[in-house]
Each structure stands twice: as structure tokens, then as C-alpha cells.
Amino acid sequence: MKKAIYILLFVLFIFTSCNQRSEKTPEEKNALEINKENTDAEKGDHVTDTKMIPPFTEEEKKHYINEAKSIAKTAFNIFSSHLKRLFEEKKPQEALAYCKENALRITDSLAQVHGVEIKRTSYRLRNDKNKPNDQEEKIMEIFKERIHKNLKPTPYVHYDEYGNPHVYLPIIVQEKCLMCHGDPNTDIPDEINNKLAELYPGDKAIFFKKGDLRGIWSIKFPKKTQIAGESK
Ligand code: HEC
């Protein structure tokens, strides 16, 4: 009899401890899920495995965001300078062909130089190769929501499921984007409309308005990036 009680207790013990193990803490459960609240988006330090990765310090967050901003700015400047030249030479159609041939190449080579992964993506795509993943879609929803509430979308930084720091920066539509991403009837000149139809059948990146979210830069850093001042 005594033996049976011991066995029962033992089974109960195993059962409850197993249960506890599989019961994740709310932090763990939420780790991969992006909270829809904007305040959370601002905190931006979702950690996938709270036991393995310490949360970002403010200094680290700033470091990754600044790095990402500087990489995105370089890419933007490279695109812009080539486009500007082609427009000055009155070759807007060639500007489109240039984008099609070089956009991904430019981001790829910048990625190599900086030792990161760079992606420019959108919820309304021109080039299907820029397709967002689930995480990027969630982030874009958060940014759109903020814009909808007349709030500025702030850069988002977190650790991805492999523990890599990952920064997402909003890309906002400016006046100068409209000639290729605005209303085909009023903003986009005919020759560009025609070239777009030729190069990008099924283009969804039109009808954007100034101030809309056009998409995001999604920049993934290697696990250990030496942060200036970290060793102090
Ligand atoms: C000369 C026309 C032109 C102008 C001006 C232009 N774009 Fe684009 N944009 C393109 C083309 C073409 C692509 C597709 C590039 C490719 O094939 O990867 C593109 C792609 C993009 C993408 C990648 C997502 C997708 O839909 O494939 C983003 C984001 C984007 N543009 C943002 C902007 C922003 C922001 C501006 C203004 C600052 C702008 N673009 C101005 C032609 C233009």
C-alpha cells in the first residue's frame, strides 16, 4: 500500500514538473510575437529566448539603429544619384530599367561590405523578389497603424529567432517618389506608366500618397557586433 502511494506521488511529481516545463512564461510566449501596441513597438526589444540572450542596453539599441540608418542612407544615396543623372539626361524609362537591374545588386553588395543582410520590402510590391516574411509583415502593420494615428513610426529593433540583432526602419513616401509610385492617372507620366507595365506586370506599388508607409528596410546583423565603447 505504502509503495503504491509512493508511486502515485512520484507520478504526480513527474506530471506536474513536466507541465511546468512545457508551460512557457508570458515573456517566452510573446518573444516571437510582435505586440500590436505601439508602446511595445517603441520598446522594441523582444527577445526570443529570454534565458539565452540578455535584453538590449540602450547603448546597443542606439548602435544598431544608427548602423542600420547609415546603411539604408548609403543605399538610398546610391539609388538617388543614378536616378537623378538618368532623369537629367531625360531618360526616365532607363531609370526604371536601372532600378530593375541594380536595386537588388546594390543592396547585396552593401550587405557584403557591412557584413549584414539587407532587404527592402513592402506590403504592396513592385518586384516580387522583395517579398516580406511574417515578421516583416507584422512590423509594417505596426508602422502603418502609427501613421494612421498621426504618430511617427519609430525604428524597431529585436533579436530574431537565431539571436541575431535585427533592425526595421520605416520607408515613407515622399513627393519625389510619386512619379513612379503615385497615381498612374495624375502622378506618373505616360512614358513611365508604359515602361512599368512592360517591366513589372502586376505591379502593386502604385497609388501611394505622400506620407504613406511605402515599406521597410529590414537589416539583420551578425550575432556579435563589436559595439564602440562596449569594453569600457
Ligand atoms: C524612377 C522611378 C522610381 C522612383 C522615383 C522611386 N522608385 Fe521605388 N521603385 C522603383 C522600381 C522600378 C522598383 C523595383 C526595383 C526592383 O526591381 O527591385 C522600386 C522599388 C521600391 C521599393 C522596394 C519594394 C518593391 O515594391 O519592390 C521600395 C521600398 C521603394 N521603391 C521605395 C521608393 C521610395 C521611398 C521612393 C522615393 C524616395 C521611390 N521608391 C522612388 C522605381 C522608382
Q: How far is the CA of 70 from the centre of ligand 1 (A)?
A: 19
Which of residues 193 and 14 earns the better pLDDT score?
193
Residue 100 domain-assigned (yes or no): yes
Q: What φ, ψ does residue 34 adopt, rounded to 5°?
A: -90, 120
Our answer on whether the CB atom of 103 is closer than 6 Å to any ligand 1 atom is yes
The percent of residues above 90 in pLDDT, for the chain, comes to: 55
pTM of the complete model? 0.78
Q: How far apart, in whole angstroms, are the C-alpha atoms of residue 165 and residue 117?
A: 11
Q: How far apart, in whole angstroms, are the C-alpha atoms of residue 44 and residue 34?
A: 9
Our answer on whether the CB atom of 82 is closer than 6 Å to any ligand 1 atom is no
Provide the residue range defining the domain that includes 131. 31-220
- Given a cut of 80, whether residue 171 has pLDDT beyond it is yes
- Given a cut of 70, whether residue 145 has pLDDT beyond it is yes
Our answer on whether the CB atom of 213 is closer than 6 Å to any ligand 1 atom is no
Q: Region 193-220: what's the mean pLDDT?
A: 96
Residue 145 domain-assigned (yes or no): yes
Residue 189 domain-assigned (yes or no): yes
Indicate the top mutation candidate among 84, 181, 198, 199 to test ligand 1's pocket, ranked by most ligand atoms within 8 A of CB: 181
**pLDDT for residue 52:** 59
Residue 204: band (very low, low, confident or very high) from pLDDT cuts 50, 70, 90: very high
- 142-150 long-range contacts, Cβ below 8 Å, gap at least 24? 142/34, 142/36, 142/38, 142/41, 143/170, 143/213, 143/216, 144/213, 145/36, 145/38, 146/38, 146/41, 147/172, 147/211, 147/212, 147/213, 149/38
Residue 92: band (very low, low, confident or very high) from pLDDT cuts 50, 70, 90: confident
Residue 93: band (very low, low, confident or very high) from pLDDT cuts 50, 70, 90: confident
Residue 5 domain-assigned (yes or no): no
Our answer on whether the CB atom of 61 is closer than 6 Å to any ligand 1 atom is no
Pick from 99, 81, 83: nearest CA to 91: 83
Q: Are 82 and 102 spatial neighbours (Cβ–Cβ below 8 Å)?
A: yes
Our answer on whether the CB atom of 196 is closer than 6 Å to any ligand 1 atom is no
What are the pLDDT digits (tens) for 95-139? 888 888 888 888 999 999 999 999 999 999 999 999 999 999 999
Number of domains comprising the chain? 1
Residue 95 domain-assigned (yes or no): yes
> Can you read off the three cell numbers belonging to residue 50?
529570454
Nearest atom in ligand 1 to 214's CA = 29
Residue 10 domain-assigned (yes or no): no
Residue 91 domain-assigned (yes or no): yes
Tell me the helices (H) and strands (E) count for the chain, helix number first: 8, 4
**pLDDT for residue 1:** 56
